Amino acid sequence: MTREDSRRPVHSSQAASRIYGEDAVIINPGENTVRLLNSTGSRLWQLADGMHTAEEMAVILTEEFDVDLPHARQSVARFLSEMEAKDLITWAED
């Protein structure tokens, strides 16, 4: 496991969000943007609570979606990278 796998993502204080069914809506007032996530992205957004590591998030994806662990790890890494680049997540302090 790499250092990135053991970090715990958390929603940025700048982001506001709401879950509607299986879809998450995220508002970033700093960029004046609204994002709608699909069911997988929405689940990852829910798991980015400061309690779950990236590795734990990948394992949960394999349990809840039809995906193998290597693919789930890639999806989590890509999602977290994109959310971090958009200032929608930060990392919980240890």
* Average pLDDT of the chain, as a whole number: 91
Question: Would you state the structure tokens that stand for residue 93, as one six-digit string?
Answer: 């302090």
Closest CA to 22 of 45, 3, 1, 4: 45
Which pLDDT value is given to residue 11? Answer: 95
Strand, coil or helix: 41 = helix
Measured CA to CA, the distance from residue 29 to residue 86 in angstroms comes to: 11
Residue 42, H or E segment: helix 39-47
| CATH architecture classification, 3-86 | Alpha-Beta Complex (3.90)
In this prediction, residue 5 has a pLDDT band, given cuts at 50, 70 and 90, of: low
Q: Give the other-Cβ count within 10 Å of 83's Cβ.
A: 23
| In the chain, domain spans | 3-86
Is pLDDT above 90 for 20?
Answer: no
Place of tokens 């693919």: 71
The residue count of the chain comes to 94
Distances (CA, A) of 80 to 63, 64: 19, 18
Place of tokens 């496991």: 1
Mean pLDDT confidence for 54-83: 96
